[in-house]
Amino acid sequence: MPYKNTMKKWTHNERLIEIIAALFILLFLYTGISKIREHTSFRIALSQSPLLGSTAGLLSWLLPITEIITASLLLFPITRKHGLMISLGLMSLFTIYIAFMVFFIPSLPCSCGGVLKELNWNQHLSFNIFFTALSIIALWLTKRNKLFIAINRKSRTPV
């Protein structure tokens, strides 16, 4: 019976990780495609940023490509953990950047992809904090969800 409960919990956690990964796939793929479709506007908006202006040309391609690669890592169960780690890194960077903009230069336009540029800086900050929290939850569940531990045959210790 305890084994059955553990399995049920494992399946439940696995489903939750899949849902969070799917949300990130939707977010990164949509914003990545939007940034490429509106590349000129995106590059101009980035070039107006005092923090990123000097690297606008490079970042305007690097960001959407990274987002699309992350979305593809999240699709496959074998690479999902790495996808979630990159998602956490990206969302943390975006959140720090937006927090900087909120506090220091709120009058600048947002260089976001798709409908996200319709959000104001505060809404965008809340949105990013929510997704950063989701990536932390998914990574925590991934770590917690290990049912099997590899044991060294000779020493009988986990490897």
Partner 1 sequence: MKKYLLGIVAIFMAIVFSAFSETNDKVDDGNLQTYTWHKYNTAGDSELDPIVSYSGTADAARTQFACPTSGAVICGRAYTSGGSPLNIYIMKPAP
Residues that bind partner 1 (CB under 8 A): 18-19, 21-23, 25-26, 29-30, 33-34, 37-42, 44-45, 48, 50, 71, 74-77, 105-109, 114-115, 117
Q: Which of 145, 147, 148, 149 is nearest to 13 (CA)?
A: 145
Q: Which of 43, 21, 53, 9 is nearest to 111 (CA)?
A: 43
Contact 110, 117 (CB under 8 A): yes
Q: Which is nearer to partner 1, 49 or 128 (CB)?
A: 49
Contact 92, 134 (CB under 8 A): no
Q: Which is nearer to partner 1, 30 or 97 (CB)?
A: 30
CB of 159 to partner 1, least distance (A): 26
Q: Which is nearer to partner 1, 45 or 125 (CB)?
A: 45
CB of 155 to partner 1, least distance (A): 34
CB of 58 to partner 1, least distance (A): 18
CB of 96 to partner 1, least distance (A): 18
- C-alpha–C-alpha distance, residues 159 and 154, integer Å: 11
Q: Which is nearer to partner 1, 38 or 136 (CB)?
A: 38
Q: What angle do CA 66, 51, 62 make, to 5 degrees?
A: 15
